[in-house]
Structure 1
Amino acid sequence: MIAQENELFQKKPMLKSEDWWAVWLGLFIFLLSMGPVFGMDLLGWVVKINVWVDSAKALVAVSSSYKSLPGIYSALLTYLFLLGITTIGAVAMGAKVKKYVVGFSIIFWITFLCIFLGNNGYIAATPDKQASLKIPWSMSLGEMGFVIAMLVGLIIGNFFQNFAKFLEEAAKPEWFIKTGIVILGAAIGIKTVGALGLANTVIIRGLCAVIEAYLIYWPVTYFIARKFFKFTPEWAAPLASGVSICGVSAAIATAAAIRARPLVPVILSAVIIVFVAVEMLILPLLAQTWLFHEPMVAGSWMGLAVKSDGGAVSSGAIADSMIRAKALTDLGIRWEEGWILMVATTTKVFIDVFIGVWAFILAVVWCVFGIDRTKTRCDKVSAGEIWERFPKFIIGFALTFLLLLLMGLNNPSIVKGATVGADQANALRTFFFALCFFSIGLITNVRKLWAAGMGRIVGVYVICLFGFIIWFGLFVSWLFYHGIMPPIIAG
């Protein structure tokens, strides 16, 4: 991470931008997923890992059109496809071809094995699936493969550091999750067509929740960092953004806006990543225990509390599966899949949209008022900075969402085909999410926390995150989503 210091504040051309490559890869997969709308099956060969007891039945192609294709061949095709498209992007961004290809191959197959193990029936089967699998019990921990992937990544990153360093070229958690979010936009768009009123409620309330949280999280965290931990504004502002808004992205954007030294966001990022890993392990379990009767509250909570795109959206996916299983067991209710994840994703997207706006505001304040006396005051700030701070992958998410929403509303006859295509793309989205989980674990070196005075940073993070941010996020989520339920599946 230290090697990236000099790159943090440079304006990157589009071909070097992780955000733009997330947009392009996501849109490419989206276009292929539209095949069923026009009578073509372009992604049906993608592998789907079923919940299994007999491992021979675990791997199948996602489309029945490819049912004669052996599952292992489908897995191989999926690997080659993802290797091909990500290698193009990685090389354009400066990666070494051979090192990336080898690293990605190892990461993919380790991650694949983690998803496979996590889908074992005794781990993942919901109560309604136990009879068909002929098992007397299960833990009902859907998406457990994500957690296993992160744990394996943590083990490698902290105990096999030479191996982890070798894989770092291909470990790109933010790129993977941003690409997955672009793909997810299509699924949310077509889902919105079928329940427009509920979707509008989710979007409007999500925006309100984010604004309310922003107005409280940042100033309180900044005050604590300055007043009680004696951080300078150069440290306190990026730390407040990283803890209260959106993790690494917000810390880097804020540091760039106030012209902090490159060392500042590098050190903050190391701390943030560790705490994201902790939140991803704990918060979905708490949501299942406390909020299985308030699923939309749980989704919003994941979006407001987990401080990275990858962590928040992936935590939303885990919470979605776990809460639906718990509701089926305890309440006898079968909720439609994806709505909890939709709330988490929508909340996180609104947060990301405001990163650029907030960074621009801070740039103006720091520049005009000279808050940090070690910096030179200036007369004006370029309005173009707001575009530089804006997370570009959100453009891809908005495009896939709006295209399917408008297409479905204009021509309802395409909804069935578009739903099939979105499901096929979601099979690839699952891999991008899982790759993100593994990569987060891999690059998380816990021992680095205690280097270079990180103890004070950890102190601010613990007090703010566990002292009020998580709980106020839960309160705000309850305030805006209490009593709102996903659609119920009949039968």
Structure 2
Amino acid sequence: MSNQKSTFTLTEDWTVVVYGFLIIILALLGLKIPNPTFGWKDSSELFEKVLTLSNLTTITSLFIIVYAIAILAAKTLGKDVLATIKGFPIVYILTTFALVLAGNAFLKNWNLEAVIFSLSIGLIISNFLTVPEWLKSSLSTELLVKIGLVILGTSVIFGDILKAGSLGLIQALLVVVSVWYFSFWVAKKLGVDEEMAIMLSSAVSICGVSAAIATSGAIKGNSKKLSYVISLVLITAIPMIIFMPFIAKALNLSEEVTGAWLGGTIDTTGAVIASGTLVGETALKISTIVKFSQNVLLGLAAFAISIYWTYTNNQSETVKEAKPTLGIIWERFPKFVIGFIAASLLFSFFVSSETINEVKGGLKSLQGLWFALAFTSIGLETKFSDLFNAEGKKPLYVFLIAQTFNVFITLAIAYLLFD
């Protein structure tokens, strides 16, 4: 009886594809995904916009959707459903608090994204309070991250990039390839382990937080290393937003070159938009195009990294010298990458632009929520001593060196293509 039951148990990667696409299909069929308001400037706006009865009802409606998916996924994977029923609401409440904090106008201007708040809240609780075992056992970080990644695929629209022109895509290809390999080379020279090296290289060369999360999923990376990389990305973005526009003006760069430089160098889309806005409309447009072009490469990069990692790091325990066969590679290949690419292709070539405009707001809100929930979970199971240990300086040096290289090589490429 138990053998028959296990036949129907999906792996975690196929489970996230199934439930990620369930959300996408329901949205396309007309399910209105609740999109709560979290933006506020002062205490009066907090109570007038965020903590209103209607907005709290919307937040609750969104909770019901993700709660149901989390319970169904736990059931599908054969996990402790009761633990999920008890623990998930607590993670959701903490994450909602993080989203409210991130919605503050002052903090938004510094581009402090919700994931840094959700991670910080989880870390504070885990390091200064005792997290009960039943709550720890309910945490499903990988599941939450990967469902968010499948939904993220719906925002990577190839048509937008093609319409915007080829120069942005050419620059994106040149920057991603050169910066990724340089960063990886530096990491290996400094003795950083390959898992961390790949996450760092993807974050600094492609699109920051999303790239780090996708790469970690592709190589089944350590969540503590992932939180370290994301902290570096978000903290480094702040001075770059402020100083790069001034440096561009001091160098007398055109808005086109400045926009291409900002879009190819700054690691998060929100930070790119914030920095481009400081320069002008043309710079904002070009910087957004370049950043979107890099985002499009995320799925292809995750796919290539998955193949590389599966082939080189999943050798048989008994036959260390033997490389895995194609069958073993397929068995161990992270299937969520297929879900990500499938969602991107679906929205790029088979869904009308009118439909995309109708559903993209809700899907983006939901995707961001899954990521925030995942980082609350990471924080709850992480100690500061694990996150910032004695070896923590080497990845920091790699990131700073790679980002410096990124600044100079991207400026040269942007000048050649856009001047």
Q: TM-score range by the shorter chain?
A: 0.7 to 0.9
Q: Shift in Å at residue 324 of structure 1?
A: 2.7
Could you tell me whether the CA contact under 8 Å between 1:221 and 1:240 is conserved in 2?
yes
Measured against aligned partners, the alpha-carbon deviations of 1:41-83 in whole angstroms (never above 9, x if no partner) come to 412544343445523442599xxxxxxx922222111101100
1:43 alignment partner in structure 2? 32
2:371 alignment partner in structure 1? 433
Deviates more, 1:168-177 or 1:95-104: 168-177
Task: Find the residue that maps to 1:391 and give its secondary structure.
Answer: coil
Q: 1:92 aligns with which of 67, 72, 76?
A: 76
Q: What is the distance in 2 between the residues matched to 1:248 and 1:327? A: 25
Q: Shift in Å at residue 424 of structure 1?
A: 1.9
Matched, 1:23 2:25: no
Q: Shift in Å at residue 106 of structure 1?
A: 0.6
Matched, 1:458 2:392: yes
Q: 2:340 aligns with which of 387, 397, 401?
A: 397
Measured against aligned partners, the alpha-carbon deviations of 1:419-468 in whole angstroms (never above 9, x if no partner) come to 11122211212211222332333333121368xxx64x4354344333x3
Measured against aligned partners, the alpha-carbon deviations of 1:5-28 in whole angstroms (never above 9, x if no partner) come to xxxxxxx99945333233222211
2:402 alignment partner in structure 1? 469
Matched, 1:198 2:132: no
Amino acid at match of 2:72: I
Q: 1:118 aligns with which of 76, 95, 102?
A: 102
Q: 1:173/1:58 Cα in 2 relative to 1: closer, same or farther (>3 Å)?
A: farther
Amino acid at match of 2:121: V
Q: 1:400/1:356 Cα in 2 relative to 1: closer, same or farther (>3 Å)?
A: closer
Amino acid at match of 1:158: N
Q: Shift in Å at residue 105 of structure 1?
A: 0.5
Unaligned 5+ segments in structure 1 are 1-11, 36-40, 62-68, 125-139, 226-234, 257-264, 304-315, 368-373, 409-413, 486-491
Amino acid at match of 1:55: L
Q: What is the distance in 2 between the residues matched to 1:250 and 1:327? A: 27
Amino acid at match of 2:55: G
TM-score, normalization: structure 2? 0.75
Q: What is the distance in 2 between the residues matched to 1:56 and 1:48? A: 11
2:306 alignment partner in structure 1? 356
Q: Shift in Å at residue 282 of structure 1?
A: 0.9
Matched, 1:285 2:223: no
Count of aligned residue pairs for this structure pair? 391
Q: What is the distance in 2 between the residues matched to 1:93 and 1:444? A: 24
Q: Shift in Å at residue 276 of structure 1?
A: 2.0
Q: What is the distance in 2 between the residues matched to 1:276 and 1:206? A: 21
Q: CA RMSD in A?
A: 4.1
Q: Shift in Å at residue 251 of structure 1?
A: 8.3
Pairs within 5 Å for 1:207-246: 207-225=173-191, 237-238=194-195, 240-241=197-198, 244=201
Amino acid at match of 2:367: R
Could you tell me whether the CA contact under 8 Å between 2:263 and 2:291 is conserved in 1?
yes
Q: 1:480/1:445 Cα in 2 relative to 1: closer, same or farther (>3 Å)?
A: farther
Q: What is the distance in 2 between the residues matched to 1:170 and 1:202? A: 43
Could you tell me whether the CA contact under 8 Å between 1:59 and 1:75 is conserved in 2?
no
Unaligned 5+ segments in structure 2 are 1-5, 204-211, 249-257
TM-score, normalization: structure 1? 0.66
Q: Shift in Å at residue 351 of structure 1?
A: 3.3
Q: 1:359/1:34 Cα in 2 relative to 1: closer, same or farther (>3 Å)?
A: same
Amino acid at match of 1:404: F
Matched, 1:324 2:279: no
Measured against aligned partners, the alpha-carbon deviations of 1:395-420 in whole angstroms (never above 9, x if no partner) come to 12211211122135xxxxx3223211
Q: What is the distance in 1 between the residues matched to 2:380 and 2:216? A: 21
Q: Shift in Å at residue 111 of structure 1?
A: 0.9
Deviates more, 1:49-58 or 1:352-361: 49-58
Q: Shift in Å at residue 348 of structure 1?
A: 4.0
Measured against aligned partners, the alpha-carbon deviations of 1:124-177 in whole angstroms (never above 9, x if no partner) come to 4xxxxxxxxxxxxxxx245644332222122112222434x5433344444323
Matched, 1:181 2:149: yes
Q: What is the distance in 2 between the residues matched to 1:149 and 1:121? A: 17
Amino acid at match of 2:60: L
Q: 1:421/1:389 Cα in 2 relative to 1: closer, same or farther (>3 Å)?
A: same
Could you tell me whether the CA contact under 8 Å between 2:142 and 2:374 is conserved in 1?
yes
Q: Shift in Å at residue 285 of structure 1?
A: 0.8
Measured against aligned partners, the alpha-carbon deviations of 1:86-136 in whole angstroms (never above 9, x if no partner) come to 121133334312222222111111111221232234544xxxxxxxxxxxx
Q: What is the distance in 1 between the residues matched to 2:214 and 2:8? A: 18
Matched, 1:381 2:324: yes
Pairs within 5 Å for 1:30-69: 30-35=24-29, 41-51=30-40, 53=42, 54-59=45-50
Could you tell me whether the CA contact under 8 Å between 2:95 and 2:373 is conserved in 1?
yes
Q: Shift in Å at residue 480 of structure 1?
A: 5.3
Q: 1:375/1:149 Cα in 2 relative to 1: closer, same or farther (>3 Å)?
A: same
